[in-house]
Amino acid sequence: MKKIILDTNFLLIPMQFKVDIFSEFNRICNFNYKLFVFESSINELKKIISNQKGKNKKAAQIALKLIKSKNIGMIRSDEQYVDSLILENLDKDTIIATQDMELKNKVLDKGSSVIILRQKKYLKLVERKLYK
Domain ranges of the chain: 2-130
Question: What sign does the CA torsion over 43, 81, 85, 25 have?
Answer: positive
| Range 50-86 burial, b when 16+ CB lie within 10 A, else e | eeeeeeebbbbebbeebbeeeebeeeebeeeebbebb
Q: What is the CATH number of domain 2-130?
A: 3.40.50.1010
What single letter denotes the amino acid at residue 69? S
Q: Give the relative orientation of helices 39-51 and 54-69 as an angle to the nearest 10 degrees.
A: 150
Distance between CA atoms of residues 73 and 87, nearest Å? 18
Q: What are the E-state strand segments in 1-53?
A: 2-6, 33-38
DSSP H or E run through 107: helix 101-109
pLDDT at 18: 96
Q: Are 94 and 127 in contact (CB under 8 A)?
A: no
pLDDT tens per residue, the chain (132 residues)? 999 999 999 999 999 999 999 999 999 999 999 999 999 999 999 999 999 999 999 999 999 999 999 999 999 987 778 999 999 889 889 999 999 999 999 999 998 999 999 999 999 999 865 444
In this prediction the pTM is: 0.92
- Residue type at 74? M
